[in-house]
Structure 1
Amino acid sequence: MLKNWGAAAICAVALCAGSGTAAAQPSSAAGLPGTVGADVRLKLERDGRLSVTEVVTVPEGATANRVVPLRVPVADHRDRVFEVSDVTVEGEGKGTATASADELTIALQAGTSTVKYSVVGTVAKIGDTLELRWQPASGWDTALDSVKVSVITPDVPKSVSCLAGEPGTAKPCTSADLGDGRGVRATEISLGAGERIDVTVGLQEGAVPANARVEETSGLLAAFALTPATGAGLGGLVLLLLAGGTALWYLRGRDSRALGGAVGPVNVLVTDGSGRMAFASPDGVLPGQVGTVVDEHVDVVDVTATIVDLAVRNYVWIEEVDGHDWRFVRRNPADPSLSGYERAVYEALLPDGVDVVLLSELRGRRIDLSRVRDALYVDVVAKNWFARRPDAERNLWWWAGVGLGVAGVALTVVLALIGAAALFGLVAVVAGVALALGARSMPARTKRGSALLEHVRGLRGYLQTATPQDIPDGDREMVFSRSLPYAVVLGETERWLATFAGTRPGLYWFGEAEEGGDLRRFAQRFPTFLGALDGVLAQAGHLRSLG
């Protein structure tokens, strides 16, 4: 063995020599003046340890820092692990070097420094041969003008490969060859910051024991690693969301055009056979139905507008009493001309056996408006404005989204605990959240419903532009009254009242303690009545939360 190592020593001198008298001197780590140079000497010991000596020259006013990862991914959830020990720094330059389980860190200042350390894990069994692999230069934060590498092995090496450049590239080093005896030498001119030199030496079988160690990765980092499988899953989610968004755009596109396009003519004032002018809503839509078609919910204002409409149509008489309360009187019984939801409103206001009720009395009565809500949703589906009940559609997709999101969270936790692809669970979480957030947009109107939406815009335009002069004097009270519930549900009450105030005394469906006069007092008191009625209905029925 001494004879062998004597030959190795002679070879090392030959590898490190240049030509002429310089052959007996150590290689200089310095390149051009003012640049960083490195001379790295690797010696593979008989026990498989790799002894490393790095001679690095740093010019005045500069520093050089190196970080070498000691856990290198080699496959999905598998890392090759190197162990570095016995780290020292000597020389005129001030520097430090430390090694942990995860990385080797070297920090050098101006001058020539010699860094020494040992590495275990560089020799791997590849088929019938052994392979020594190490990166003598990598992770430097500054460019190196030149890097010289020498390798001494216990037996004659079989092959050498040297790659230099960005990690992952296959660019060969400036030079790399087998020396005489048991030596390998390589050189790289101008290595950029962050680039590496990767040296692989083929060894004779049995030259040293193989000590390469590959570990299965575990923990959250591995579980959430992006792999081809999880990448495909994420790509599938993106495609699914795009497809869902496209379908939603198609289904809701009619509504967007109806809300954003030009309003076509909507004629709500018609003349009957006797020459009298009357109000006719588009598609026969009732006030409460208008609100539900527009916002897809049953709201308190929908019920309020329906009560006003019942009074206008002579089912209920409304009378102001004592200046701060209102009385509802049954005028005509409910008949088949009332829709299902109108009958529900009528019976909630005046149940069987009750012909008169004060608004103040309703505050103490528990009014069940769930029947009104259900009947109104049934009506808009029966009219073919919606394919299915909007509330049921929202709830279905919301619960589906919540369920998928919860299942995704559970799946993520389980996969993370076992170190599997937890990103699949996150895919399910994202899909569930998107589904729950999109649930409010799921109730799609039919083509007829979207057309009605445009007609409702035209109806609002009529309420905003009509004047008393557009209506014959003898028909003005009726047209004003029949239009008023629609003004209530569409938020045009104040404008409608202001336009017609002072045009005609009294109303056939609304009485006041002070009789006579024109519509000015009604215009002043009616908003107060609406606010009081809205408050009672909201307090009694909690309708908005149910819708």
Structure 2
Amino acid sequence: MLTKWGIAAGLVAAGITVTSGQPTFSPPPDAPSFEFPLPTPGPPAGEDDPPIIEPVPPSTGQPRPTRPPGVPVVLPRSVNIQLKLERDGSLSVTEQVIVGAKETMNRTAPLRIGERVFTVREAKVEGNGTAEVSGENLVIRLNEGASTVTYKVDGAVADVGDHQQFRWQAASGWDTKLIFVRTSLLTPKPGRDFVCLAGMAGTEDRCDAAVTDAGGILRVVHSNLDADARVDISAVLPAGMVPVTATFVGGAAGVGPFALTPLSGAGLGLVLLLLIGGFAVVLTARARDTRALAAEGVPVDVLVGAGERVAFASPDGVLPGQAGTVIDERVDPRDLTATVVDLAVRNYLWITEAGQDWQLVRRNAADDALTGYERAVYTALLPEGTDAATVSGLRENPPALDGARSAVYADAVSRSWLSRKPTGLGKVGIAGVGLAAVGAALTAALALSGGPALLGVAVLIGGVGLVLGGRLLPARTRRGAVLLQQVRGLHGYLRAARPDKVPAADRELVFSRSLPYAVALDETAQWLERNAPTFTGGLYWYGTQDQRFDQRKFADRFTALVHELDGVFGKR
């Protein structure tokens, strides 16, 4: 061990390598120089001490001469290199190059190594030469004398699994053999598992000597590096020590922002589990909705009251225009027609015959008792300042009812019968769009910064899954499925109810309140056939041109009115 230390120390202290016929060169007095001490041998390293790579003496087979005392000797074609990894992830490089008299040394260092791309900036030379970036190469041209080259490198740090990895070719692309190369690497925190390779690209030969001192600084010594060969240094660094700067092109395996690391793998696995769980929720909800559609309606008691008096009450307070929407999740013209009839029954409108036409007359202004969609229908038929409108006029100039249709859906959502507009995204879909946007932005940001971009991809996939899941979920909620069965029970009542089951004093009101539901559920003709004959004095919300109310004629005219109103609402 001490013998090896002595050899390496001798190499560095002398700063020379002698080859047959190699001239020496004395730099000018103001030439830059580097301090390059080796660590002093001490007691064995403990578990927490920086790792030490024992130096291996150069295997030239030639004896090492000693330098005469007091005679400074610096060899031409020698390079001293200082590497300092900054806290922002960039690598500061300083190279002192000694060029022999009447000689030149040129370096064309590749900035793309495999799939990894490095970026060099702020290259400059103090001395006799130039440095620039040309395409994918760092080009240095030096003439005789001692010159100092400085530049910064981006791309030397990558995330690999649970740690960071440093890599840079300290010497590469020189057009002449380097007699002596000395390199030091300083990082913000000590690294480990240092590897120093020297030789032509692709070879695995180790550098002559590579040691770390007590401060964790790596120091490398190598002699006789062939032209176009490289000194390639890599090290393992603590995770998150500096920002990741590495850039990869062409999909480098196992590295780069899109590498599958434990962290990104855990994120993708979590998203997969959530997608599986969401898929199960979607299947359960669709199965529930399918059963609700196939099941028979449940009996409902729509006649409520005390004693001998009764009144009509719809299940869960559903309105005629909402009943049809809950069944087929669509606002049909018939739903709006039923709403107009219901507004008349509730004394907001007066419907009166006008020859072969009908007139809708304002009776009471829209108030807070109306829902949003009922006010929208009322306003569309009779705008502010209009007290009456004919059905034929409305058919020629159909009112704009998009707002009314949207209001029907909004009202059903507010009552928790529907989770969303059937053609819309709903809360789940909107959340998915937002999450997908965050995932896309996160992916781009992590990819540009060299971070674990697959985490952003995982978030993006989760957002897309929410969007698709929101569209696949049935719009009808669990409460809506229950109401569907109740509406079918109401439909059954309309088909089977007989007027003699209702006290005579309440028949007109029960008949009138239930008629809009018969319109919405396409039971108008049957309901009129069974119930209209019981009325001889007319209806409080419908006016005829006859002095005496004709039940049969009313049934025919009302059926025609429903058809005409369907035409009004079906044109837009």
Band the TM-score falls in, shorter-chain normalisation: 0.3 to 0.5
Give the alignment's TM-score, normalised by structure 1.
0.47
Give the alignment's TM-score, normalised by structure 2.
0.46
Which of the two has greater helix per residue? 1
